[in-house]
Structure formats: structure tokens, C-alpha cells
Structure 1
């Protein structure tokens, strides 16, 4: 992880200066995207021989690159931490933070970003069990996380109501009014489209700034779906 954050880009711009003693009070901006957009991003990911996660990560990368003014973005995501024998039956919180350095956007298309996001993710998963927080090389910027500038969360939950060992359960996503990181972008694809939110540290960002990032994210997701549709055989794109 030290090599991933070496010569890291400057932190993403904020509305107010960072300080090491931030209280991390947070707020959210919600968004929703149609099934057509969600299906288009999945189709583009499949054409790139990667996952829907990489496709949505590519959209998040594009939006944050616009916000920061450079394609070199240091994102963080989470792994389940249950890749060892027997760990699937362990009760507890085993998530590990995984830094993903996204730098080369190729020609800037969604397809190029998706391929790059997929390759970066596969490379980092090989080391996902090693706690990145143990690295000794850290950016000398007060108030910043050593491994990331923003967090991307992706969870394909499927149906809202499920049955687990005979019990009917419903997943509830609650806004706790806090922000663990400067920015956290969450995407939850479902059968009728994708929903999500951008959580932001209110000591760093104004609501208007968060809304602009979300507006660009949703617009870029729609553009990505349109690009994927044009690339389908018989629709004017390459076979």
C-alpha cells in the first residue's frame, strides 16, 4: 500500500481547510438512476470482461476527477475480510479498507475507465487481507487519510425484503448524521435501477458542492449508459 500512495495526488479540494480535529459531522445527498442506466453500465462492464462494481467505480472516478481537476484519484473501498477458511461463519465486523489508485483514463471514455478500474481492483484484491493502515509512509497533509481521498461503496442487495433462516428481513439504510471520511459515495443497484447517496463532512463541504458532485455523477452515469448502447452490435457501434 505504501507504493500505491507514493507520490499521491493532492487531496480533493474542499470548501474549508482541513484540520486534524474534525468532529466528522456528516450529511447526505441522495440520488436515483433508472434501470436503463444501471443495465447500460453492467453491459459496458461485461464487454470489458469485468464486474458491475468496476463499471460504477469508473463513473465515480470520472466524477471525482472532474471535481479535483486531475485523473489521478486515490479512492478507498471495502473488502469483506472473509477470504480465509472458516471466516464466513465468524460473527463480527471484518471489513478492511482497500486503497485503489486510479490514474490512467486512456481516451477518457467510460469503456477505458472501466477497463482501468477493473485492472486496478484485481491487482489490489491480491493484497486485500493486509491492513493498509500499517504503512509507515503517509502524506504530510493534516486531516487527510493516508490511503484515500474518498470512499466508494457498492452493494448489490437485490430484493429489499429477504428471508434468512425463516425470518423475513428488510435492509434499512440509515443516515447517522456522521461522516467517517471526507466523501463517501454509495451505489446500490436493484431490479428497478440504482439508488445511492453521497455522504460528506459538513465541516469541509457545503451542501451545494456535494449536490454538484452528485449531479455530475448521475450525468456521467447516463452518458456511460448511452456510450454502452452505441457500442452494442447493430446500434452503430463496433461488433
Structure 2
């Protein structure tokens, strides 16, 4: 199997300077060291195809600031060409358009699970995309939007805005971020859900990157424990695909997947 050349390990101080210089928003202090290094690792993971997108903690910095940041990373040797900043509903995601389109096409084919957690029902339940026509339309709109950009993405770090914000953006973000299971709910009940005191199996995936730095949290999502047996095949397929993608790169090491069951008095989506 062909493996791409490993990118030389950048200096953590330079990574922190790149983020703080680009994303400080005029404040005296920019993002913390931990946030700076984690964001850089997530961007590299998107570039290497380990996740389709990242929603930065500092996404409120705006698209121009994120473009400056990615250009700073490019100066440090990051493979950011082809990445794109997509604004949806006032949120800016750094995405790999190719991998996002692949992911959304899987959603349209029904290979990504959707779990309805609307507060109007007593328990979470698996639902189909055909039951969520607004979501289906929004997913198709994002695919069409990104496919229309493909020819221009080789020019550098690009930006576009999806003006439509109809539909459940919480669900769309879950899909864009590569979760194999995404929660959905009726928008008229968006301030509440039926996950309180419901046992949830929380899945995490971590990878090692910079020496003497904390691992990168690549994924973190949950599924109701009661639905886990029925979702096992989808979760296994997602894990197999992630491990396959992991083997095609040399920048990260020590992929670790784990899960634990938690019960919380309230869950915010």
C-alpha cells in the first residue's frame, strides 16, 4: 500500500503563534496553547482524510481569520490546499469538500443512522431520512453547493456561505463532522430532548501527534445504550473505515477507540 510522506513535525511554538496571530480577534490573548495545538492537529486530520470537517472552538473569529490561519499553517508545511471554509447558519467549518460530499451521499443512501430524540416522545428512536424531508433537502443542497465549488478548490484556501439555514443544523453538523450516528429532533422542541437520565454509550477516537503533547480527540459522539445493538453494524463499518483511512497516512500514530456508558440529568445538543 502506498503511504504519503510524513509531514515534518512542526514546532509547537510556531503552531501557537500562527493561531494566536490569526484568531486573537484583537484581544490581548488569543486561544490557549492547548486549543491552538488541538486545532492544528484537527486541521491536519481533515487534510489527511481522517475526518471530513472540523468546527473550531474559535469559529466565531470569522472566515477571514480562519483563512489567514490556514495560510499560516500552509507556510509551516501543512497540506491545506483543497480545504474549504463553509459557513452555515453563522458557523464556520473547515472542511474537505471531497470527503464531505462522500459523507453526505452516504446519508442520502441511508448508511448513516439518525436517532430522533425529540422531547415529544418518551424514548429515542431510529428514524429514516425519508421521515425528515427538510433535512433531506438540506443535505442535498449542501452536496450540490460543494459540487459546484470543486473546480475552484485548487486555487488555495477558499470560502463560501450556504445561505439556507432551514432544517436541523445540529443534525447536519453531526453528519458533516463524520459521526456515524447523528441526533435529530423536531425544531419546535429544540430547547429540550428525551436524553435526560438515558444511558448513553459515548464513543471516542484519539490519535497521537506531537511528542509530549496530549492526544488529539478526533471523534466524540454518543448513542443511546438501548439502541446500540441495532446500530452495531453501522458503528462497526464506521470503525473499519476509520482504521483503513488511518493506515493511509503517516503523520499520526496510536489510533485508540474506546466507549463508556454514562447517564446525565440533562444533555445539550
TM-score by length of 2: 0.28
Report which of the two has the higher share of helix.
2
TM-score by length of 1: 0.30
- Which structure ranks higher in relative contact order (CA pairs < 8 Å, sequence separation ≥ 6)? 1
